[in-house]
Structure 1
């Protein structure tokens, strides 16, 4: 192992460039998949005739496909029907499609967790279905959705590494470029350790952010969870 050679300024800059691409793809895919996932989840929850069934079918099909197949299809198959995208756009599109289906289920589960009595009370007070959904159900459901949503976003960030198969110049792609050279055998462990550390830092920060948001939005639930964890540790 050659840590000094592996961590030369040129190698570090090359890795950081790849990490910047990873973060760019992840952030754009997170924003888009959250938007589309919320729309699909709400459509499933609303149980609109035909529409909800079609959305449910699409979501279930996508959720049960491997992400790597969706990436392949987006980059290699879509050009056959005239839809051509750059490597970066193909990666973002594939991740957005896959993660939207995952988030749709999280949103639907969060909405279904709200007691039906609250919906009936809101409707009886004169609120429309849309108003009830927007002002009563969604704010409460969001508090319950934060942990699984952040967990899904962390998975999305890690899944960007699968785009190496279409040569997206992300972190692992550039890491492979560093240790594939003449001195590669001495660089493999140092480079992969550094790449793993970069992933860990971002994901750990996301986890901290999720805990803080959960405490701020639902302090009672957060305190109860903390008490339960303390009790479990004592036992």
Structure 2
């Protein structure tokens, strides 16, 4: 092990570039996953005849596939169908598809957990079904499912490391290049990777706790 040489500024700067890519992928994927996941969860909750069942089948299928397989499909298979993405957008598309399905089930479960009396109270107050869902049910479901959603998003951040298999220059890939030049850098790089991932994920956990306190009943 050689911590002094491993932590030279040139290596740290290279890792920081990878960290920026990881954060960019995570930020875009989280944004798209929350938007699409909420939409899918609501559509399944509404139980539209035929459509909701088909949507549920697709979601359940994707949820039970390895994320790595979806990344491979997006990067290697889609070009054969005429759809081309670079490693950056292949990762975002694959992770958004996978994570939005996970989030949708969390949101749907939160909506189903709300007592039926809440819906009846909204309709009795002259709210339309859509207004009842938007103003009464969905806010409660979001508050109830916040810890589960955040846990899923933390897993998402860690899963960005899978994109190293398609040569996305994210944090893990950058570390591999650094310690590939010198075997003595392996442990120092892994320790630094652990620190980076811990800071990112723990910060997200603290932010979730803040939101829970702010929006608690």
Q: TM-score range by the shorter chain?
A: over 0.9
Deviation at 1:83, TM superposition (A): 0.1
Q: Which secondary structure state, in structure 1, belongs to the residue aligned with residue 49 of structure 2?
A: coil
Counterpart CA distance in 2 for 1:197 and 1:62 is 31
Deviation at 1:124, TM superposition (A): 2.0
Q: Which residue of 2 aligns with 1:118?
A: 118
Tell me, yes or no, if structure 1 residue 143 matches structure 2 residue 114.
Answer: no
1:89-168 maps to which residues of 2 (within 5 A)? Answer: 89-168=89-168
Of the three residues 195, 198, 208, the one matched with 1:197 is 195
Q: Which secondary structure state, in structure 1, belongs to the residue aligned with residue 62 of structure 2?
A: helix
Q: Which secondary structure state, in structure 2, belongs to the residue aligned with residue 65 of structure 1?
A: coil
Q: Which residue of 2 aligns with 1:232?
A: none
Tell me, yes or no, if structure 1 residue 206 matches structure 2 residue 204.
Answer: yes
Counterpart CA distance in 2 for 1:134 and 1:167 is 42
Counterpart CA distance in 1 for 2:40 and 2:10 is 44
CA deviation map 1:163-186 (0-9, x unaligned): 0110100001000000001xx211
Deviation at 1:188, TM superposition (A): 0.3
Q: Which secondary structure state, in structure 2, belongs to the residue aligned with residue 84 of structure 1?
A: coil
Deviation at 1:142, TM superposition (A): 1.1
Deviation at 1:200, TM superposition (A): 0.2
Counterpart CA distance in 2 for 1:187 and 1:197 is 15
Counterpart CA distance in 2 for 1:142 and 1:96 is 19
Deviation at 1:151, TM superposition (A): 0.5
Deviation at 1:216, TM superposition (A): 1.3
Counterpart CA distance in 2 for 1:40 and 1:185 is 46
Deviation at 1:125, TM superposition (A): 2.1
Q: Which secondary structure state, in structure 2, belongs to the residue aligned with residue 114 of structure 1?
A: coil
Gaps of 5+ in 1: 220-235
Gaps of 5+ in 2: none
**Runs of 4+, deviation exceeding 2 Å:** none
Alignment length (residue pairs): 217
TM score, norm. by length of structure 1: 0.91
Q: Which residue of 1 aligns with 2:215?
A: 217
CA deviation map 1:59-109 (0-9, x unaligned): 100000000000000000000010001110000000000001000001001
Counterpart CA distance in 1 for 2:35 and 2:215 is 20
Counterpart CA distance in 1 for 2:114 and 2:194 is 39
Q: Which residue of 1 aligns with 2:185?
A: 187
Q: Which secondary structure state, in structure 2, belongs to the residue aligned with residue 168 of structure 1?
A: coil
Tell me, yes or no, if structure 1 residue 22 matches structure 2 residue 28.
Answer: no
> Max radius of gyration: which structure?
1
Counterpart CA distance in 2 for 1:125 and 1:202 is 44
1:73-92 maps to which residues of 2 (within 5 A)? Answer: 73-92=73-92
Q: Which residue of 1 aligns with 2:7?
A: 7
CA deviation map 1:115-140 (0-9, x unaligned): 10110121122111100000110111
Q: Which residue of 1 aligns with 2:33?
A: 33
TM score, norm. by length of structure 2: 0.98
